[in-house]
Chains A and B, each alone.
Chain A
Amino acid sequence: MTEPRYDRAPGESSIPSDMEEGTSGLLIYTIGLVLAVILTATSFWVANTSLLWGPGIPLGLAVLAVAQMGVHLVFFLHITTGSDNTNNVLALAFGVLIVVLVVAGSLVIMYDLNHNMMAPGEMMDMQMQHGTRP
């Protein structure tokens, strides 16, 4: 065991390259596909059902999307918590930080702007939906 400890390339699985690779690699992708199909089907069901509490549905859909993103990352992109994957996970964490800042920051600022500077939220919505200027 004199192989130096480089981090693994993103997208490569940690399985050593021998005869087993074909089958076990296939198994990993298939598990990922099955989980992704289940999560996608659940998302579509949640969006269309009347059984669940309406205001909670967007949050539920977001949770399902996060879960499916995790499935894709682990089973398709092979981004895991292994010690040979630290660089990839750190880069991903930084990306997620920027994404959260951009999206949450935009929403908070625009909500505040509508709320404080122009008109109450409902009136602002009415104006935007009907294309009228005050």
Chain B
Amino acid sequence: MSSIAVPFDGVPDDAVPSASEAGPAPKRIVVAFCFWIFLLSDIVMFSALFAAYAVIVRATAGGPTGAELFNQVSVAIETACLLASSYTCGLMSLAINARRRAGTYLFAAVTFVLGAAFLALEIREFAGMIASGATPQRSAFLSGFFTLVGCHGLHVAVGLIWLTVMMAQVAIKGFRATVERRLLCFALFWHALDIIWVWLFTIVYLMGVRS
């Protein structure tokens, strides 16, 4: 009988059945792993938008450039909001694991407020740009910008709706296995959005205001 699993310290290799001998993994692991695959495919989609943006970033067609449009203070506040909401989402996961209902609601509420603040700032930024004539139709650069940043904003909006639904499920159904799996997936989703935002503020905003 051969086992491909890596032996633990001090435990003989035969003492622990390998995953293949033990049958299918628990549903919690399968669900989270499959959601992880989905998130990676979502990131691949974002990479296509990033590539398109990088190709057309100079094609401003006589219109405003990134350096003229972007407000770094606003971007810094948005970044702080999203990073803090990622942290409170982690604290919410801890509260869920400890079955603390009050902590779950509290950190979910903070996560929601910070995410909503991020979204409000982004919408205000978009509205200001459109009001000054920098619409998506103005140039290829602006089309790429609104597609890329707007797609991330759309993900955040979906995440906020998802979080609200999950809190309703916790309130009605309690911490049952299905609800916990969904909450685990939500936490993965929210942290992944923050990783995409790291690349967004680096490539679009910080590199944009320099050139």
- Asked if residues B60 and A128 are in contact (CB atoms below 8 Å), the reply is yes
Cα A30 to Cα B50 with chains together (Å): 30
Cα A88 to Cα B59 with chains together (Å): 39
Interface of A is mostly: helix
If A29-B94, A47-B209, A72-B191 touch, whether A91 touches B202 (CB-CB below 8 Å) is no
A interface, how many residues as a size bin?
35 or more
Give the residues from 16 to 42 in chain A that come closer than 8 angstroms, CB to CB, to chain B.
Answer: 17, 21-22, 25-26, 29-30, 32-33, 36-37, 40
If A11-B188, A69-B198 touch, whether A2 touches B52 (CB-CB below 8 Å) is no
- Asked if residues B44 and A98 are in contact (CB atoms below 8 Å), the reply is yes
- Asked if residues A99 and B43 are in contact (CB atoms below 8 Å), the reply is yes
Could you tell me the distance in whole angstroms from the C-beta of B26 to the nearest C-beta in chain A?
Answer: 7
Cα A76 to Cα B91 with chains together (Å): 10
- Asked if residues B191 and A4 are in contact (CB atoms below 8 Å), the reply is no
Could you tell me the distance in whole angstroms from the C-beta of B9 to the nearest C-beta in chain A?
Answer: 11
**Stretch of B79-87, B120-128, B153-161 contacting A (4+ beta carbons < 8 Å):** B79-87
Could you tell me the distance in whole angstroms from the C-beta of B154 to the nearest C-beta in chain A?
Answer: 20
Of B11, B51, B79, which is within 8 A of A1 by CB? B11
- Asked if residues A26 and B94 are in contact (CB atoms below 8 Å), the reply is yes
If A4-B17, A11-B187, A21-B97 touch, whether A87 touches B194 (CB-CB below 8 Å) is no
1/0 per residue, CB under 8 A from A, across B91-107: the answer is 10110011000000000
Cα A48 to Cα B209 with chains together (Å): 9
Cα A57 to Cα B54 with chains together (Å): 17
Residue of A whose beta carbon sits closest to that of B17: A4
1/0 per residue, CB under 8 A from B, across A65-109: the answer is 100110011001100000100011001101100110011011100
Of A25, A62, A69, A92, which is within 8 A of B97 by CB? A25
Residue of A whose beta carbon sits closest to that of B139: A131
- Collect the chain A residues with CB atoms within 8 Å of residue B209's CB: 47
Residue of A whose beta carbon sits closest to that of B206: A47
- Asked if residues B58 and A128 are in contact (CB atoms below 8 Å), the reply is yes
- Asked if residues B25 and A7 are in contact (CB atoms below 8 Å), the reply is yes
- Collect the chain B residues with CB atoms within 8 Å of residue A103's CB: 47, 50-51, 54
Could you tell me the distance in whole angstroms from the C-beta of A80 to the nearest C-beta in chain B?
Answer: 14
Cα A46 to Cα B206 with chains together (Å): 9
Cα A12 to Cα B26 with chains together (Å): 14
Residue of A whose beta carbon sits closest to that of B10: A1
Cα A72 to Cα B196 with chains together (Å): 11
Q: Is B176 an interface residue (CB 8 A)?
A: no
If A61-B202, A92-B40 touch, whether A106 touches B188 (CB-CB below 8 Å) is no
- Asked if residues A21 and B206 are in contact (CB atoms below 8 Å), the reply is no
1/0 per residue, CB under 8 A from B, across A98-134: the answer is 1100110111001000000000000001001111000
Top-4 shortest CB links A-B: A4-B22, A131-B61, A95-B40, A9-B32
Chain B residues packing against A (C-beta within 8 Å):
5-6, 8, 11, 15-19, 21-22, 25-26, 28-29, 31-33, 35-37, 40-41, 43-44, 47-48, 50-52, 54-56, 58-63, 65, 72, 76, 79-80, 83-84, 86-87, 90-91, 93-94, 97-98, 139-140, 184, 187-188, 191-192, 194-195, 198-199, 201-203, 206-207, 209-210
